[in-house]
Chains A and B, each alone.
Chain A
Amino acid sequence: MAFGRWFKEIGFRHVIGVIAVIYSVFPILFIISAAFDPRTGLTLSNDLFSQFSLENFTSLFNDTMFWRWFANTLEIGIFSALGTVLMGAAAAYAFSRYRFSGRKQGLLVLMVVQMFPQLLAFVAVFLLLMTLGDVVPALGLNSKMALICVYWGGALGANTFLMYGTFNSIPLELDEAAKLDGASHSQIYWTIILPLVTPILAVVGLLAFIGAFNDFVLANTVLSGRANWTLAIGMNQWVGGNERSWEWFAPGALIAAVPILLVFLFLQRYIVAGLTGGSVKG
Chain B
Amino acid sequence: MRRGISILTAAGLAMTLAACGGGSSDDSTSGAAEETTASETGASGSLTIWVDDNREVAVTDAAKAYEDATGTTVDVVVKDFANIRADFSAQVPTGEGPDITVGAHDWLGGFVKDGLVAPIEFGDALADFNTVSTDAFTYDGQVYGLPYAIENVAVIRNTALADSTPATFDEMLAKGKAAGTKYPFLIQVGDEGDAYTMYAFQTSFGAPVFVQNDDGSYSSELGLGGENGNNFAQWLQDQATAGVLDTNITYDVAVDAFSKGESPYIVGGPWMISAFTDAGIDVAVDPIPSAGGETASPFVGVQGFYVNANSQNQLTATDFLVNYLGTEDSQVALYEAGDRVPALNAAADAVSDDPIVAGFAAAAENAVPMPSIPEMDSVWSFWGVTEANIINGTATDAPAAWTEMVSNIQAELDK
Q: Do chains A and B touch in the complex (CB under 8 A)?
A: yes
CB within 8 Å of B: which residues of A? 39-45, 75, 79, 82-83, 86, 122-123, 126-127, 130, 133-134, 136-146, 148, 186-187, 190-191, 220, 224-228, 233, 236-237, 240-244
Q: Which 8 A-B pairs have the closest CB atoms?
A: A138-B24, A225-B34, A145-B23, A226-B78, A143-B27, A79-B19, A142-B35, A237-B80
A239: min CB distance to chain B, Å? 10
Bound complex: CA A237 to CA B82 (Å):
8
**A65 closest partner in B (C-beta):** B78
Is B12 a contact partner of A141 (Cβ separation < 8 A)? no
Which one of B23, B28, B96, B278 has the highest number of Cβ atoms from chain A below 10 Å of its Cβ? B23
Is B28 a contact partner of A138 (Cβ separation < 8 A)? yes
Q: Given the interface contacts A224-B79, A226-B78, does A41 sit within 8 Å of B256 by beta carbon?
A: yes
Chain B contact surface mostly: helix
Is A126 a contact partner of B9 (Cβ separation < 8 A)? no
Q: Given the interface contacts A138-B28, A143-B27, does A40 sit within 8 Å of B259 by beta carbon?
A: yes
Contacts of A220 in B (CB 8 A): 80, 83
Is A242 a contact partner of B9 (Cβ separation < 8 A)? no
Which one of B30, B35, B54, B252 has the highest number of Cβ atoms from chain A below 10 Å of its Cβ? B35
B349 interfacial contact with A, CB 8 Å = no
B295: min CB distance to chain A, Å? 25
Is A138 a contact partner of B31 (Cβ separation < 8 A)? yes
A-B contact pairs, 12 of them (CB 8 A): A82-B19, A86-B15, A86-B16, A144-B26, A148-B19, A148-B23, A190-B8, A224-B34, A226-B77, A241-B80, A241-B81, A242-B269
Bound complex: CA A112 to CA B50 (Å):
38
Is A44 a contact partner of B19 (Cβ separation < 8 A)? no
Bound complex: CA A227 to CA B80 (Å):
13
Contacts of A133 in B (CB 8 A): 37
Is A187 a contact partner of B94 (Cβ separation < 8 A)? no
Contacts of B259 in A (CB 8 A): 39-41
A192: min CB distance to chain B, Å? 10
**A136 closest partner in B (C-beta):** B24
Chain A contact surface mostly: helix
Bound complex: CA A228 to CA B26 (Å):
11
**A188 closest partner in B (C-beta):** B5
Is A191 a contact partner of B8 (Cβ separation < 8 A)? yes
A58: min CB distance to chain B, Å? 15
Is B269 a contact partner of A224 (Cβ separation < 8 A)? no
Within 8 Å by CB of B94, from A41, A127, A186, A190, lies A127
Which one of B31, B255, B271 has the highest number of Cβ atoms from chain A below 10 Å of its Cβ? B31
Contacts of B96 in A (CB 8 A): 126, 130, 141
B1 interfacial contact with A, CB 8 Å = yes
A254: min CB distance to chain B, Å? 19
**A140 closest partner in B (C-beta):** B31
Which one of A86, A139, A236, A237 has the highest number of Cβ atoms from chain B below 10 Å of its Cβ? A237
B24: min CB distance to chain A, Å? 3
B353: min CB distance to chain A, Å? 24
Contacts of B54 in A (CB 8 A): 243
Contacts of A83 in B (CB 8 A): 16, 19
B139 interfacial contact with A, CB 8 Å = no
Is B31 a contact partner of A143 (Cβ separation < 8 A)? yes
Bound complex: CA A42 to CA B37 (Å):
40
Bound complex: CA A57 to CA B253 (Å):
23
Contacts of B81 in A (CB 8 A): 237, 240-241
A62: min CB distance to chain B, Å? 15
Q: Given the interface contacts A224-B79, A237-B80, does A126 sit within 8 Å of B94 by beta carbon?
A: yes
B20 interfacial contact with A, CB 8 Å = yes
Bound complex: CA A243 to CA B16 (Å):
41
Q: Which of B50-97 contact A (CB under 8 A)?
A: 52-54, 77-83, 87, 90-91, 94, 96
B279 interfacial contact with A, CB 8 Å = yes
Q: Given known contacts A137-B27, A228-B34, A240-B82, what 4 new A-B pairs fall within 8 Å (CB)?
A: A40-B259, A44-B252, A187-B5, A236-B80
Is B9 a contact partner of A82 (Cβ separation < 8 A)? no
Bound complex: CA A280 to CA B18 (Å):
33
Is B279 a contact partner of A40 (Cβ separation < 8 A)? yes
Q: Given the interface contacts A83-B16, A144-B23, A148-B19, does A228 sit within 8 Å of B9 by beta carbon?
A: no
Contacts of A122 in B (CB 8 A): 90
B251 interfacial contact with A, CB 8 Å = yes
A18: min CB distance to chain B, Å? 32
Bound complex: CA A122 to CA B90 (Å):
9
B275 interfacial contact with A, CB 8 Å = yes
B308: min CB distance to chain A, Å? 15
Is B9 a contact partner of A138 (Cβ separation < 8 A)? no
Contacts of B16 in A (CB 8 A): 82-83, 86
B243 interfacial contact with A, CB 8 Å = no
Is A186 a contact partner of B5 (Cβ separation < 8 A)? yes
